[in-house]
Amino acid sequence: MKMTSIRRSRALSIRARVLTLALVPCIVFLLAGVAGAGYLIFDAVQTRNYFQLASEAQQRSLPLIASLQEERRLTLRRLASFGTFQSDLIKQRNRTDSLAGQATASLGELSEVAPDSVTRAVREFGELMGELPAMRARVDGGQVSISESFSLYNDIIDRFVDGTKGLAQFAPDAEIAYLQLVVAPLLTSADLMQRSDALAAANLVGGGLNNTDFSVYQGQVSSYHLQLESTIPLAEPEVQAQYRKLTGSAEWLRLMSVEEVLLRGDINLPISEDMWRAAAGDVGQRLMTMLQTQSRHTNDLALSKVNTTLAQSIVAGVLVLALVALVFFFALRLSRRLIERLVRLRSETLDLAEKGLPELVEKVRAGNDVSVDDEVRLRDYGADEIGEVADAFNKAQQTAVAAAVQEAKTREGTNKVFLNIAHRSQVIVHRQLKTLDEAERKQEDPEQLELLFQLDHLTTRQRRNAENLIILGGGQPGRRWRNPVSLAEIVRGAAAETEDFARVKTAKLPSLSVIGPVVGDLVHLLAELIDNATTFSPPAARVDVRGNVVGRGVVLEIEDQGLGIEPARADDLNDMLTNPPDFGIMALSSEPRLGLFVVARLAARHGISVTLRESAYGGTRAIVLVRNELLGPDSAVPQDKADEQDQKADRPIDPKTETLRPVELPVANGDSPAPGSTVRLTIPGAVSLPDLPNLPPLPMVEPRPGEDLFRPQKPVGAEHEPTQPQRQQRAPRHLEPETSEPLPKRDAGDRPPLPKRGARADHEPSQALQREPRHAERNGEPRPEPPKPVELRKVAPEINQPAPTDGDTRAQANPQPQTAGMAPGRPPLPQRRRQQNLAPQLREDTPPAWPAQQEPEAEHNREETPDQARSRLSAFQAGTRRGRDEPVPGEMLNGNDSVGSTRNGQHRSE
């Protein structure tokens, strides 16, 4: 419970807390004000209702009292005269009964809200009024005495007087109570005058007043005169005026004269009885009028004050509500201003944290000079607590920016050291590659040459790793191209960067070129993806590379047959390829994927889109989209032609019905067909080769059995004997970068023939070593009998002879090499002589006969093993690759030569 209350209190906002602080006293004050005003209003309403009922009851009861007084006089006279005046009595009784109904109802309503004394008097008044009919019957029957009937009427009127006195107890103030007390003496005075008159009239009819009645009469006359003299000065001025008028009237004087005579015991009246009765009635009526005037004035004043109190109570209640509302309004306004300042502080802080600080950090990382005090500064929020919080935020953010500046300086220094080390490594690797290339050219020993090739592979991998370091450090690799390079060359160069390049199968690619500044990064990007494909797929599985022209550019697809990537992981990798993170984040990752991070960096640099999808074989398919802006100016391929190329590249080939197209190669063997003739080589089965550039043909070197691209599973038959030992198959040479210095332009027809690696013009080798597969020897297995490769000899063409333009591999051969068209200072190309460098024990006395020309039909009908066909195709591919990759002497500058593929076997570069 305690923790729950703490959580709730923490969940309250500052606005709610401020409003709570202001609302609690406001609510208390509101409740107190409403309670006080409500009480006053309720009391005023109750008092007003009470006096309204009292005024109504008095207005209806006073005529009843006057009627009872008259009925009392007539009753006493009836009893004294023994049955006379009966008709006047009956009329008076009826008038009394008619007035009693209305008066009793008003008194009943008054008793519900009146104090106890009034309620008790009203109840007793009602009870006595209930005894009146029985008294009347006894009077009519002569069964009651004068005193008894006189006492009943007096008691009824006395109860009314008691109730009138009780009204003063419920007065709203002292003034009303005082005025209400004046009404009771006036009523008593008027009643005493009527009593004395009734008693005197009854006794005079009977012969005079006895001693008892005389004493009563004398007391009553004296009493009402004294009360009038004591009460009139307290009455209203109007009542006083009425009294003065009354005492000066003739009726008052006649009544006084009668009373004086009676008080002396004389029954001889100074005036006639009729004049006495008229004077007594007039005086009694005026006294009742004075009573009604005082009572009405008192009730009106009470109602006025009650209404004033009610209005004041309502005003007080409204004022309380207004005051509470005003206090709450000021509290709300104050809290709103406070909240607005806090919200503005929060907004500025968030804006500075989300926009200002990142931009400032980017400026710092970019090397721009920034002022921490000027850049990171919030507005002045005053000297109160909020201003102190703002100053604290300023100091915290300035400290963070200062730390970022220091970190950026440290990072910049680290990057400089990082790039310096990488550039130095790259320079050493380039020099190492140049040295290895020179050693490979001069080496004739197959065993040593194989070792050099292995070092060449490792060095190439080391060069790509050094370039990875430069890219991760934010630098630019050293290899650059100025002129556009064909897409096929880029893909072949990328495949050459991988160790298992033999598993990479490239379909026919669109005849497009890529602008020079993008070539190096695109080659590196494709090399990383191809290396991933070869690394994470079975060793015997192939990796397909396809290309197709689309509306936005050209698409390259690299598809492997591995285990693939989980969908969630693939989504994360695609997101990284689309938005490459900072290298610092990658460095902090528990499982860094530097290969794909390098791909993401390169793709983001040139706007290349790289997406990973699931392959139809269950592996991974990397889709690379090169935009039109990155293609060379001569890369406009019609869409219909591009679609046709894609259909051919993607069309499945039936090895039973389709064969490789015949390739005519020039031969230079004295025992072979005539010079200039060609040998048609037909390979059964489906083999797809990339387009070859229009280069002059190069001397052919036979592949070494067991080490070529298509390794045989068993010894090959001896249909064709080997002519010379073959070097280890070398990966296709990486694209040679162009230097910053302009090179002389030469047409294809002016390109000089490439020199033959390892040829010597001054002397012949003393002994040629035969090279055999090393893997069998290392594994302790017997060396298989080397297959006899197909002997395909070529003669270098004339220098001025133009290269073929039809796109196939057919080349014209000249039986005699010409040197007239060669560049000055360049030695003529050496010629290969049959079995010149072959070991003596392998030489033949008579070379095998080779038909002048063999038609594809005959070649196809001849029974051949798959290994023989594979060996022939390996020899053909090795020669064409060497012809494409071998640089012309003198064109290698700054050691930028690079050697074929390496295998990035450290970790998967995802």
What is the reported pLDDT for 838?
A: 54
Burial of 320 (0-12, 13-18, 19+ CB in 10 A): buried
Indicate if the pLDDT at residue 751 is higher than 50. Answer: no
What is the helix (H) or strand (E) element at residue 513, kind and residue range? strand 513-514
Indicate if the pLDDT at residue 200 is higher than 80. Answer: yes
Which of these ranges, 135-144, 321-330, 692-701, has the smallest mean pLDDT? 692-701
CA distance 694 to 447: 33
Give, as one character, the DSSP assignment of residue 889. T
Q: Predicted confidence band at 505 (pLDDT cuts at 50, 70, 90)?
A: very high
Core vs surface per residue 629-666: b (16+ CB within 10 A) or e: ebbbeebebeeeebeebbeebeeeeeeeeebbebbbbb
Strand-pair partners of 513: 486
Give, as one character, the DSSP assignment of residue 801. S
CA distance 734 to 196: 152
Query: Is pLDDT larger for residue 216 or for residue 826?
Result: 216
Indicate if the pLDDT at residue 105 is higher than 80. Answer: yes
Among the listed residues 50, 65, 27, 47, the one whose alpha carbon sits nearest the alpha carbon of residue 158:
65
Give, as one character, the DSSP assignment of residue 888. P
Query: Is pLDDT larger for residue 169 or for residue 669?
Result: 169
For residues 312 and 37, the answer to whether their CB atoms sit within 8 Å is no
Q: What torsion do the CA atoms of 16, 21, 24, 26 make, to the nearest 10 degrees?
A: -100
Indicate if the pLDDT at residue 813 is higher than 60. Answer: no
- The per-residue pLDDT of the chain, averaged, comes to 72
731 residue type, one letter:
A
Which of these ranges, 282-291, 791-800, 866-875, has the smallest mean pLDDT? 791-800
Q: Predicted confidence band at 379 (pLDDT cuts at 50, 70, 90)?
A: low
Indicate if the pLDDT at residue 190 is higher than 80. Answer: yes
CA distance 466 to 383: 57
pLDDT digits 0-9 by tens, 609-648: 999 999 988 899 999 999 999 998 865 444 444 444 444 4
pLDDT digits 0-9 by tens, 455-491: 887 888 788 888 887 877 777 776 778 899 999 999 9
pLDDT digits 0-9 by tens, 284-306: 889 988 988 888 888 888 888 88
Quick one: average pLDDT of 299-320?
85
Between the alpha carbon of residue 527 and those of residues 217, 554, 729, 851, the distances in Å are 145, 17, 20, 43
What is the reported pLDDT for 887?
A: 53
What is the reported pLDDT for 861?
A: 43
pLDDT digits 0-9 by tens, 37-88: 888 888 888 888 887 888 888 888 888 888 998 888 888 888 887 666 678 8
Q: Predicted confidence band at 866 (pLDDT cuts at 50, 70, 90)?
A: confident
Q: What residue segments make up the domains of the chain, in order of their start?
A: 21-324, 396-478, 480-650
CATH classification of 480-650 is 2.40.33.10, yes or no?
Answer: no
CA distance 417 to 473: 10
CA distance 570 to 623: 13
Among the listed residues 725, 829, 830, 704, the one whose alpha carbon sits nearest the alpha carbon of residue 767:
725
pLDDT digits 0-9 by tens, 341-364: 888 888 888 887 888 778 877 777
Please calculate the CA angle 730-736-741 and round it to the nearest 5 degrees. Answer: 155
Q: Predicted confidence band at 832 (pLDDT cuts at 50, 70, 90)?
A: low
Quick one: average pLDDT of 253-264?
89
Cβ neighbours around 812 below 10 Å, total: 16
Which of these ranges, 414-418, 442-446, 489-493, 815-819, has the smallest mean pLDDT? 815-819
Indicate if the pLDDT at residue 745 is higher than 60. Answer: no
Which of these ranges, 209-218, 316-325, 342-351, 468-477, has the smallest mean pLDDT? 468-477
Quick one: average pLDDT of 717-723?
38
Q: Predicted confidence band at 735 (pLDDT cuts at 50, 70, 90)?
A: low
Helix residue ranges per DSSP H, 821-909: 856-861, 866-885
Indicate if the pLDDT at residue 90 is higher than 50. Answer: yes
Q: Predicted confidence band at 317 (pLDDT cuts at 50, 70, 90)?
A: confident
Give the length of the chain: 910
